Amino acid sequence: MHDLLGIGLTGKTLTDLERQFLADRSPYAVVLFGRNIGTVEQLRDLVHEVKMISRRPPVIMIDEEGGRVDRLRNLIPGLPSAESFQEGDKPSEMAAWAGQVIGMALRFFDVECDLAPVVDIRGEQATKGLERRTFGSDPESVVELAGAFMRGLHSQGVASCLKHWPGIGLGSADPHYGATVIDVALEELHRRDLVPFAQLGNEAQAVMIGHGTYPKVDEPDLPATFSPALTIDLLRNRCGFNGVAISDDMEMHAVSDLGSYEEIAERALMAGNDVILFCSHIERMPEVQRYLERRVSEDAGVRRRFEEAVERAEAYRAHCEKLRAEAGPGVGNFDDLLEETARFCDEFERTRPRRDPVILDIDRRKGPRHPGRTGREEWT
């Protein structure tokens, strides 16, 4: 039976439990985080082992945006944030080059999908969790720059995924830690937040469904991940998206507090998510898989939705393979990748206005901090 789960791994090497799970019940996708990345050789070995021991090699995914969401920061330093492109000259050219550099890197590590670009549209103040991760504050800029970044990825044989449908740029909070409310009318969403998804979605072939709530569009406390009105009616029927819908991490508190893992997996599936991500507790995944298998066998409605999701997920897998085949061989030497990254970073800095860094005293960190270990950096 096909599987629609995307899972996370606990560390830089596979545990015995993870090896058994991958061999016996291969998930659709494996999502890499900073906790999984040490050295160049270690990361290549980890991805290779995941694919070798799995009954069917999963699609390897990662959040590699640049800026504060930069899983490769200890291997390939200096990648800028999405917001920085509009702050200098040649923003579209630099965004495309950034996508190419990231695509080269992910291809080198045999990663098929970058869970990027962010196409949320920034409000007057950035939503918590989205700081400097957005390409602009108007639809036209986001379409131009995110589109350039996306095509840069594709040119190197790496697939993309737009996030976070239907837009959390005006959200009230960070969904990693609780509910975020986007209190705007449907007409405003159409005019603003939905534009990048409508214009770029079918080119990307993947959209990540966010956990925001939209009280002027659907039930006040219903996250988009559980909303057929947002994920089927609006995304599919009104915006014409025909690719795969990937849930945001179901272990974020915005949704994880709303039921058991089994219950929220089924709710997400029935609301229109095709691939469902649980990125932390792999030990729970066999139970979720068995539950979904049982529901598919006993309920015709669940079976129809499951079969539809499988068809879209497999089409996206084929899309990843097609992009890789069309791009040709990737870079074979890590030093060549570092050299290209350095060329990009040097040129990017030349396009930026000169200014002295200013760090307000209130923003200075107090006391020691181990890098890369906060929940926000791991989850976002």
Distance of alpha carbon 103 from alpha carbon 186, whole angstroms: 35
Catalytic residue, chosen from 3, 63, 120, 176, is 176
Q: Which residues pair with 5 in a beta bridge?
A: 276
Given the structure tokens 């089994």, which residue do they identify? Answer: 262
Query: What length is written for the chain?
Result: 380
Q: What is the DSSP letter of 225?
A: G
> 15 with 36: CB under 8 angstroms?
no
Which ranges of the chain does DSSP label H, i.e. alpha helix? 16-24, 40-53, 91-108, 139-155, 186-188, 195-204, 228, 253-256, 261-271, 285-298, 300-327, 334-350, 375-379
Q: Residue 248 catalytic?
A: yes
Catalytic residue, chosen from 174, 248, 249, 274, is 248
Cis peptide before 117 (omega within 30 of 0): yes
> 208 with 63: CB under 8 angstroms?
no
Distance of alpha carbon 256 from alpha carbon 275, whole angstroms: 16
Q: List the one residue out of 48, 54, 113, 63 whose CA is nearest residue 321.
A: 113
For 324, list phi and psi in degrees, rounded to 5: -65, -40
- Position 179, amino acid: A
CA angle 27, 115, 189 (to 5 degrees): 120
Given the structure tokens 């949320």, which residue do they identify? Answer: 120
Q: Coil, strand or helix: which one is 1?
A: coil
3-state SS of 179-215 is CCECCCCHHHHHHHHCHHHHHHHHHHCEEEECCCECC
Question: Listing from the earlier edge strand, what are the strands of the sheet with 276-278?
Answer: 159-160, 113-114, 59-62, 29-32, 5-8, 276-278
Instruction: Indicate which residues carry an active-site annotation.
Output: 176, 248
